[in-house]
Amino acid sequence: MIQFTKLHGNGNDFILIDEYSGTVVADDKKADFAEKYCDRRFGIGGDGVLFISKSGSADVNMRLFQPDRSEAEMCGNGIRCLVKYALGAGHLTPGTATVETMAGIMPVDVKVQGNEVMVKVNMGKPLFDRKDIPIDGNGKFINEMLEGMQVSVINTGVPHAVIFVDDLKGVDIDVVAPPIRYHNIFPKGTNVNFVSVADEGHINLRTYERGVEGETLSCGTGSVAAVVIAHHLGLTGSEVEVNTLGGILNITLEGGYAFMEGTATTVFNGNLL
């Protein structure tokens, strides 16, 4: 029997397996486990499986396996879910803590406000060599809807492409995003973000996630990527509210670092027989 907890951050949902006291799912089976149980019809359903364990260099360790069997370097919404769980399990206490990920050690600040847990994550310094890739409709990107768009490239723990549009509702994301997600400029693929700017303190965001291979309700690293690019272009200030399909994330840029703040919610606990 395997115990699990289902959590979500703004609708970006995860299955969490606690390996703090020892391995529950063997490392060579973790990809299989994610593929099987992330299925929304034949499994538990989720955008990924989080594994929490002890760390030799931080307070806890986080690993994330995705439905396509890949292991992601980091996940903004996932780290908030993991911290929320760790707090309830007694692995962490309110205040400051650190989480080890494949993208590095992420400092977090945890506050309990009534029944709500707020997690602020120091997402580090985005790897930002901004360059626009002109999508010229010459066949490389398959679909004529892409012609004339500009794609900005950035890494906020995982690779992201950011595209600004006037009307998010008019974006057929399942058609437009895959040619970018699989473009050869991204050796490991990329997440694809479509952004509309409301004003200097607010943007709207939709994200096609690598590994999920579809649109998710929210993306933490994508929110950071969108704000960093928008701020660099002079479209927003340094404190921005990001409106995703699943809810709000607050992103702050300070001293070259990006900070993400939001909540996480426990949905239910269960057992796999």
**Catalytic annotation present for 38:** no
Candidate list 50, 75, 117, 176, residue with the active-site label: 75
Candidate list 87, 195, 205, 219, residue with the active-site label: 219
> CA-CA distances (angstroms) from residue 22 to 26, 30, 53, 65, 232?
10, 14, 8, 18, 44
**Catalytic annotation present for 219:** yes
Dihedral of alpha carbons 75, 76, 78, 83, sign: positive
- What SS3 string covers the chain? CEEEEEEEECCEEEEEEECCCCCCCCHHHHHHHHHHHCCCCCCCCCCCEEEEECCCCCCEEEEEECCCCCEECCCHHHHHHHHHHHHHHCCCCCEEEEEEECCEEEEEEEEEECCEEEEEEECCCCECCCCEEECCCCCCCCCHHHCCCEEEEEECCCEEEEEECCCHHHCCHHHHHHHHHCCCCCCCCCEEEEEEEEECCEEEEEEEECCCCEEECCCHHHHHHHHHHHHHCCCCCCEEEEEECCEEEEEEEECCEEEEEEECEEEEEEEEC
**Which residues are known to be catalytic?**
75, 219
